[in-house]
C-alpha cells in the first residue's frame, strides 16, 4: 500500500525591522525636512476635512493626497509614496479608534514640537526593479537617491524589503527603520505545564519578581545615567531661557534622554529574550500602566519600560509557538495565599510580608503575587482550551 505523502508544514509571513543610523548629504537632509513638513501638513489637512465632512453629512470619508496637490503645489516636490503612507496611517488610526476607543485615542493634529519627525515609504514593484533597494553602497530610495546607512546586521538573502521609515530625533540624528518580510513555518504550539510556566509581577524596585522569587539585576549604569540627567536638568533650570548656553545645555539633556531610552530598550530586549528562551509559557497581569501609575505613588511606572518589555516578550514567545497569557488585573493576586487560596481582605497595600490568617504561611507579597498570577493564568488557559 503506497504511503501517504507527507504534508508540508503551514507557513506564515513574518516581519523583521532593522533600525540603523543614516548619514544624509545636505541636499538629502533638506529634502527629508521638506518631506517631514509635507507629511505633517497633509495629515492635519486630511484630519480637518474628515471632521468637517462628518459634521456636514454624518459620513466618514478621508480624501486622497491627490486632492491637495493643486492647492499646495509644494507637495509635488516630495515622494508621492510618503504622502500615500500618511493617508493609510490616518485610515488605520480611525479604524483602531472605532474598534476600541478605550485603548486608542482619537487622531490628533501633528505639531512641529513632536518628539520626532518621520515619514514612511512602501516598496513598489516596477519593471526596472523594486522602488526600494538595499545595496552594498547604501539604501536606494525614490527622490532621495542613494542614502548612506550603517548596517549593524545584514539581512538574509531571502528577506524582501517592504517599507522604510525615516525618522529624525530631537537631537538631530537621522535613523532608518527597514521592514523586511519573509515566509517561515508556523511553529507547533507548546502546551504550558506548571513546571515550565512562570508568572511575572511588576515591581518598582526590581522591575519584576517571578514566581520563584527571582528578579533581574538592573545594571548600575542605568541608575547612574538617571542621576546624571537630574544634575544636567538642575543646571539647565538655572540658565536663562533662549541664551546660547541654554541651547547647548538643552542639547546635552536631549542626548542624555536618548541615551537612557536606549539603555531601557536594550534592557527590555535582553530580559524578554532570556525569559522567552527559558520558559514555555509566561503569565503577566494585563494591567493598564496609566492606572497603575496613578495608584502607585513614589515611582515612575511609565518610565520603567515595563509595557515595552511585555510587548517584546509577547512577540518573542509567539515566534517560538509558546504562550503569553494575559491575567485579569482585577483578580486578587496580591491578597490571595498561594498555599491555601485564602483571600485576606484586610491586607494593607504597603505591607511587603504577611502571614496567612487561615494556614499560617509566611508570605512575601511580590513572590506570592507572581505565583498567583501563574496559577490564575494557567487556569484561564485551561478553561479557554476546554471551551475551544
Query: Mean pLDDT across the stretch 347-366?
Result: 85
Question: Using CA atoms, how far apart are residues 245 and 257, in angstroms rounded to an integer?
Answer: 18
Angle, alpha carbons 77-143-20 (nearest 5°): 125
Find the length of the chain.
388
Reported pTM:
0.85
248-257 CB burial, b ≥16 within 10 A, e <16: ebbeebebbb
Domains of the chain and any CATH numbers = 11-185 (no CATH), 194-218+268-387 (3.30.420)
DSSP 230-267: HHHHHHHHTSPTTSHHHHHHHHHHHHHHHHHHHHHHHH
The predicted-structure confidence for 147-196, as pLDDT tens digits, reads as follows 999 998 889 888 999 999 999 999 999 999 999 999 988 888 899 999 99
Query: CA dist 19 to 32, 155, 363, Å?
Result: 17, 12, 44
The predicted-structure confidence for 237-288, as pLDDT tens digits, reads as follows 999 998 999 999 999 999 999 999 999 999 999 999 999 999 999 999 887 7
Residue 198, strand partner residues: 282
pLDDT value for 186: 86
Question: Using CA atoms, how far apart are residues 364 and 137, in angstroms rounded to an integer?
Answer: 57
Distance of CA 37 to the CA centre of its chain: 25
Amino acid at each position: 500500500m503506497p504511503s501517504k505523502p507527507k504534508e508540508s508544514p503551514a507557513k506564515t509571513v513574518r516581519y523583521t525591522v532593522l533600525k540603523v543610523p543614516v548619514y544624509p548629504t545636505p541636499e538629502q537632509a533638506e529634502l527629508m525636512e521638506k518631506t517631514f513638513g509635507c507629511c505633517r501638513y497633509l495629515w492635519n489637512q486630511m484630519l480637518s476635512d474628515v471632521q468637517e465632512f462628518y459634521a456636514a453629512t454624518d459620513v466618514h470619508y478621508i480624501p486622497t493626497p491627490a486632492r491637495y496637490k493643486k492647492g499646495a503645489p509644494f507637495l509635488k516636490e516630495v515622494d508621492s509614496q510618503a504622502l500615500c503612507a500618511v493617508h493609510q496611517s490616518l485610515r488605520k488610526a480611525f479604524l483602531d479608534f472605532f474598534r476600541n476607543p478605550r485603548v486608542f485615542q482619537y487622531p490628533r493634529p501633528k505639531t512641529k514640537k513632536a518628539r520626532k519627525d518621520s515619514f514612511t515609504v512602501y516598496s513598489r514593484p516596477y519593471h526596472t526593479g523594486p522602488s526600494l533597494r538595499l545595496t552594498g553602497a547604501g539604501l536606494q530610495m525614490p527622490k532621495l537617491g542613494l542614502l548612506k546607512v550603517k548596517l549593524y546586521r545584514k539581512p538574509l538573502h531571502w528577506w524582501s524589503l517592504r517599507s522604510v521609515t525615516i525618522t529624525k530625533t530631537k537631537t538631530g540624528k537621522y535613523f532608518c527603520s527597514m521592514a523586511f518580510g519573509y515566509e517561515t513555518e508556523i511553529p507547533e504550539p507548546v502546551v504550558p505545564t506548571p513546571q515550565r510556566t512562570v508568572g511575572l509581577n511588576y515591581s518598582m524596585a526590581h522591575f519584576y519578581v517571578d514566581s520563584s522569587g527571582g528578579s533581574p539585576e538592573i545594571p548600575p549604569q542605568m541608575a547612574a545615567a538617571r542621576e546624571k540627567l537630574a544634575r544636567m536638568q538642575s543646571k539647565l533650570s538655572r540658565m536663562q531661557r533662549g541664551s546660547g548656553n541654554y541651547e547647548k545645555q538643552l542639547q546635552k539633556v536631549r542626548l542624555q534622554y536618548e541615551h537612557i531610552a536606549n539603555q531601557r530598550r536594550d534592557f527590555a530586549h535582553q530580559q524578554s529574550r532570556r525569559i522567552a528562551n527559558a520558559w514555555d509559557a509566561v503569565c503577566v497581569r494585563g494591567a493598564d500602566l496609566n492606572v497603575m501609575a496613578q495608584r502607585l505613588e513614589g515611582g515612575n511606572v511609565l518610565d520603567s519600560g515595563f509595557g515595552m518589555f511585555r510587548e517584546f516578550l509577547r512577540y518573542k514567545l509567539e515566534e517560538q509557538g509558546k504562550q503569553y497569557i494575559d491575567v485579569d488585573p482585577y483578580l486578587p493576586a496580591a491578597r490571595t495565599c498561594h498555599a491555601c487560596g485564602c483571600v485576606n481582605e484586610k491586607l494593607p497595600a504597603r505591607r511587603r510580608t504577611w502571614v496567612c490568617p487561615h494556614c499560617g504561611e509566611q508570605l512575601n507579597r511580590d513572590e506570592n503575587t507572581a505565583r498567583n498570577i501563574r496559577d490564575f493564568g494557567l487556569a484561564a488557559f485551561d478553561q479557554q482550551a476546554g471551551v475551544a
